[in-house]
């Protein structure tokens, strides 16, 4: 191990100015749910702090719902309905600040997708329609102009609360076809005939207002990040990056302090590695830097420093966004910084993390067993507890689990014997074509 960073990777560790704040490097842990959120706040806080410790320059919350009409039960996420939610969110921001990183919060109202099972409010959206995330007969009602004004006030209030909690950045979220501004933007869910429906300018009006009102509320005390899906991946039936997706960014180009762009909906964004290579979103988002002077971030299961540097050098992005790579290896940035990229636990794109989150259970990761146990069991992805006895250990079977167990126990100081019936280690993996 050289401990000497390859100078080719220096660019990844340059600070980036984002409006009034400066990210210490180009690594951005984008918002991602984790099945812990408000239900297991200590676990959530420790998990976010771990990423800051591992070198991610920006660490954000998952989507944080800011009003009872956007209640996403039974999904376990953060929420900020009133001041009572401030302590645990402030503790998360503190855990991130402790390591010199910026803390971001993504405000969300899932509108017609939220069943309001706990709050018993009536879900809202651009038009009357059944709530999409539930099998049960729950109906969302179309927002009147008064409702829209109220919704904007709630958002503004949430922005001010986020500042009170100590966050440095607020993410205004129109992505994944799952938030009120994206429901208004999508022709699939907006048949309105007033000034919020019809033309792109009208369908984008609410998002513009949210960004402007966020800026107005916080001035230059926090950065405003626009998380925006430039392509709905449904061809002519939806927003396409080369059409309205591009026009939308052009219309709002200089309003936020940073663009965090991706594709929707969620399946297309967090695409499994079976269907998408690293950097798969570049073909959709690479135009963005040509229409704005603001820093641009994008995602696409970035795990290799060479791919990251290439995306920056080619002018595709300024900042590397990552959800799953930061779950699989919270210490990915530090490993590159310390000249040991070969130690990165690479996200394999299996989406087990998302599957567990969708069960409303704490997420787990195929590659990183410590994910979600940083607080409860005090597990650390880079430090393993020393052995507690002088027992010797026999492991039967040198498949992936046996190999990993042998490695981990060896690191703890145990004497390990690994037995395998075949002549080759690797188990099932060696039988793949």
The catalytic residue positions are 33, 173, 176, 269
Are 63 and 77 in contact by the 8 Å Cβ rule? The answer is: yes
**Sign of the torsion formed by the C-alpha atoms of 290, 273, 177 and 104:** negative
Task: Please identify, using beta-carbon distances, which residue of 144 and 272 lies nearer to ligand SF4.
Answer: 272
Q: Is 276 helix (H, G, I), strand (E, B) or coil?
A: coil
Which element (helix H / strand E) includes 231? strand 223-231
How many residues contact ligand SF4, by CB under 6 A? 13
d(C-alpha 134, C-alpha 75), whole Å: 11
**Sign of the torsion formed by the C-alpha atoms of 62, 372, 36 and 354:** positive
User: Residue 324, interface with ligand FMN (CB under 6 A)?
Assistant: yes
Strands 16-18 and 21-23: antiparallel
Binding partner of residue 350 among ligand FMN, ligand SF4, none, CB under 5 to 8 Å per kind? ligand SF4
CB of 48 to ligand FMN, least distance (A): 13
User: Residue 350, interface with ligand SF4 (CB under 6 A)?
Assistant: yes
Are 189 and 112 in contact by the 8 Å Cβ rule? The answer is: yes
Region near ligand SF4 per CB under 6 A, out of 155-163, 194-202, 344-352, 416-424:
344-352
Binding partner of residue 367 among ligand FMN, ligand SF4, none, CB under 5 to 8 Å per kind? ligand SF4
Binding partner of residue 30 among ligand SF4, ligand FMN, none, CB under 5 to 8 Å per kind? ligand FMN
Task: Please identify, using beta-carbon distances, which residue of 36 and 299 lies nearer to ligand FMN.
Answer: 299
Distances from the Cα of 36 to the Cα of 46, 107, 319, 364, 410, angstroms = 11, 17, 27, 11, 31
Strands 139-142 and 124-125: parallel
Cβ-based neighbours of 380, under 8 Å, separated by 6 or more: 50, 370, 374
Binding mask 317-336 for ligand SF4 (x = CB under 6 A): -------x--xx--------
Region near ligand FMN per CB under 6 A, out of 129-137, 305-313, 322-330, 375-383:
322-330
Cβ-based neighbours of 191, under 8 Å, separated by 6 or more: 126, 127, 197
Are 296 and 289 in contact by the 8 Å Cβ rule? The answer is: yes
Determine which residue in the list 52, 323, 332, 403 makes contact with ligand FMN, applying CB under 6 A. 323
CB of 432 to ligand FMN, least distance (A): 23
Binding partner of residue 328 among ligand SF4, ligand FMN, none, CB under 5 to 8 Å per kind? ligand SF4
DSSP label of 39: T
Binding mask 258-287 for ligand FMN (x = CB under 6 A): ----x------xx-----------------
Determine which residue in the list 64, 222, 309, 347 makes contact with ligand SF4, applying CB under 6 A. 347
User: Residue 301, interface with ligand FMN (CB under 6 A)?
Assistant: yes
Q: Which has the closest alpha carbon to 286: 297, 271, 302, 275? A: 297
Region near ligand FMN per CB under 6 A, out of 141-149, 286-294, 309-317, 353-361:
353-361
CB of 431 to ligand SF4, least distance (A): 21
Binding mask 33-52 for ligand FMN (x = CB under 6 A): x-------------------
Are 168 and 222 in contact by the 8 Å Cβ rule? The answer is: yes
The answer for 145, left when phi > 0, alpha when psi is -120 to 50, beta otherwise, is alpha
Determine which residue in the list 16, 230, 353, 409 makes contact with ligand SF4, applying CB under 6 A. 353
Binding interface with ligand SF4 (CB under 6 A): 324, 327-328, 347-353, 365-367
Binding interface with ligand FMN (CB under 6 A): 30-33, 62-63, 106, 173, 175, 227, 262, 269-270, 299-301, 322-325, 353-354, 357, 363
């Amino acid at each position: 191990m050289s401990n000497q960073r390859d100078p080719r990777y220096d660019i990844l560790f340059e600070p980036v100015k984002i409006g009034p704040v400066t990210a210490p490097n180009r690594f951005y842990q984008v918002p991602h749910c984790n099945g812990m959120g408000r239900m297991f706040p200590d676990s959530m806080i420790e998990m976010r702090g771990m990423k800051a410790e591992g070198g991610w320059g920006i660490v954000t919350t998952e989507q944080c719902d800011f009003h009872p009409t956007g209640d996403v039960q039974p999904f376990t996420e953060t929420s900020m309905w009133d001041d009572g939610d401030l302590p645990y969110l402030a503790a998360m921001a503190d855990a991130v600040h402790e390591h010199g990183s910026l803390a971001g919060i993504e405000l969300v109202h899932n509108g017609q997708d939220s069943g309001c099972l706990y709050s018993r409010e009536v879900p809202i959206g651009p038009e009357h329609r059944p709530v999409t995330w539930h099998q049960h007969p729950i109906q969302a009602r179309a927002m009147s102009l008064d409702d829209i004004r109220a919704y904007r006030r709630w958002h503004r209030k949430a922005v001010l609360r986020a500042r009170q909690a100590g966050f440095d950045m607020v993410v205004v979220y129109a992505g994944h076809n799952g938030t009120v501004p994206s429901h208004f933007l999508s022709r699939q869910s907006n048949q309105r005939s007033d000034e919020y429906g019809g033309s792109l300018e009208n369908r984008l009006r609410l998002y513009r207002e949210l960004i402007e009102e966020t800026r107005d509320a916080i001035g230059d005390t926090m950065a405003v990040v626009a998380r925006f899906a430039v392509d709905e991946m449904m061809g002519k039936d939806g927003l396409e990056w080369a059409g309205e997706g591009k026009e939308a960014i052009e219309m709002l180009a200089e309003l936020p302090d940073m663009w965090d762009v991706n594709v929707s909906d969620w399946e297309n964004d967090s695409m499994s590695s079976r269907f998408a290579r690293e950097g798969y979103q570049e073909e959709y988002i690479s135009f963005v830097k040509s229409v704005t002077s603001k820093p641009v971030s994008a995602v696409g299961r970035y795990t290799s420093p060479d791919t990251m540097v290439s995306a920056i050098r080619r002018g595709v992005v300024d900042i590397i966004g990552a959800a799953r790579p930061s779950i699989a290896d919270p210490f990915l940035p530090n490993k590159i910084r310390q000249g040991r990229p070969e130690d990165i636990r690479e996200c394999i794109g299996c989406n087990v993390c998302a599957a567990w989150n969708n069960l409303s259970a704490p997420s787990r990761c195929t590659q990183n067993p410590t994910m979600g146990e940083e607080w409860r069991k005090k597990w650390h992805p880079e430090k393993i507890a020393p052995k507690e006895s002088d027992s010797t250990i026999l492991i039967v079977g040198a498949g992936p689990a046996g190999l990993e167990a042998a490695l981990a126990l060896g690191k703890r100081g145990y004497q390990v014997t690994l037995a395998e019936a075949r002549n080759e280690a690797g188990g099932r993996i060696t039988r793949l074509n």
